[in-house]
Amino acid sequence: MFVQLALAFVLVADPAPIAATVNGESISRAQVDAWIRKHLPVQPAAVAPPRELRAAALEALIEDLLLKQFLEKNAPPIDAAELDRQLAAFAASLRAKGQTLTRFLEETRQTEAELRDSWTILMKLDGYVRKTATEAELKAYHAENRDHFDGVEVNASHILIRVAPMATPVERAAAREKLEALRKDIAAGTLEFAVAARKHSQCPSALEGGSLGFLPRKNGPMDEAFSKAAFALKPGETSPVVESEMGLHLIRVTERKPGKPSEYAKRMDEVREAYADERRPILVAKFRMESKIEIAK
């Protein structure tokens, strides 16, 4: 997750145009800049982003390239005509909503060529899963993620202490200790969760006593670590300290809204798509171990 930053670094010409090389394939510094402009659109053109942001952007590009290289080696080739058909169907779906493909590309800050490349990766990843995942594995995945496929939601609140990715162990331990002390008081009944959230939480939801409203199991505003912990709670329970991309949390669930029971046979495509999405970082991590990655100084 990237947030709007106030930047104060002067942009200077970079004598080294290559930012990294992955298995002999280069990632340019211009690509890093383009990634930042796309994902941080308020980035002023006349300044350079801080080192941490450039490093995060480069890492995202390296992961994308590793996935592309892995699929080129291991996924079945895709049919160009099928790619054209799917993109045409996507454009038609946009028109049905009163939108155009041109407008979509502008809003998502990408070219049609970049869209085709992204769609190609998705189709290859789907082909790889079709080739390697057994029916038993997909059925098991559906069963393990019934809350998601059934559309179950939980009404959750949280107390957030923000911890930077580069925080020291001492800073992280201090945040954890503070939340554990709050949890002890909440469990003892001497402190209400909403009161603690209003006073201590570093999230805008603090104004609402930490309330985040109803959340889905996946594809919601919170990351997987948070969602997994929230859905493990029964109404009225408070979680242990949970670490996410945002920082450290205490989570309380007040209500669980049941969805509609799903049948695997009727949701196979959706199950395979979700399974593929979760396999993506695993495949990248595995391929990374056998890859040669050189980061420019």
Residue 274 in tokens: 């979700």
Instruction: Tell me the pLDDT tens digit for each residue of 170-210.
Output: 999 999 999 999 999 999 999 999 999 999 999 999 999 99
Distance (Å, whole) CA 158 – CA 202: 10
**The predicted structure's pLDDT at residue 41:** 57
Distance (Å, whole) CA 181 – CA 91: 53
Spatial CB neighbours of 105, under 8 Å, sequence gap ≥ 6: 111, 112, 115
**DSSP H helices in the chain:** 29-39, 51-74, 80-96, 101-108, 112-132, 135-144, 146-150, 169-188, 193-200, 224-231, 268-289
Instruction: Give just the sign of the alpha carbon dihedral 276, 281, 285, 291.
Output: positive
Domains and CATH numbers, the chain: 152-257 (3.10.50.40)
**The predicted structure's pLDDT at residue 109:** 86
Closest C-alpha among 287, 295, 296, 292 to residue 68: 287
As to burial, measured by CB atoms within 10 angstroms (0-12 exposed, 13-18 middle, 19+ buried), residue 151 is middle
Instruction: Tell me the pLDDT tens digit for each residue of 14-31.
Output: 445 999 999 999 999 999
**The predicted structure's pLDDT at residue 19:** 94
Instruction: Tell me the pLDDT tens digit for each residue of 60-86.
Output: 999 999 999 999 999 999 999 999 999
Around Cβ 174, how many Cβ atoms within 10 Å? 14
**The predicted structure's pLDDT at residue 16:** 59
**The predicted structure's pLDDT at residue 1:** 41
Task: Look at 119-123, 217-221, 246-250 and tell me which has the smallest mean pLDDT.
Answer: 217-221
Distance (Å, whole) CA 105 – CA 36: 17
Over residues 221-225, mean pLDDT: 90
CB 182 within 8 A of CB 250: yes
Determine the straight-line distance between the first and last CA of the chain, rounded to whole angstroms: 25
- Give the global pTM: 0.76
**The predicted structure's pLDDT at residue 42:** 53
Instruction: Tell me the pLDDT tens digit for each residue of 242-294.
Output: 999 889 999 999 999 999 999 999 999 999 999 999 999 999 999 999 999 99
Is residue 47 scored above 90 in pLDDT?
no
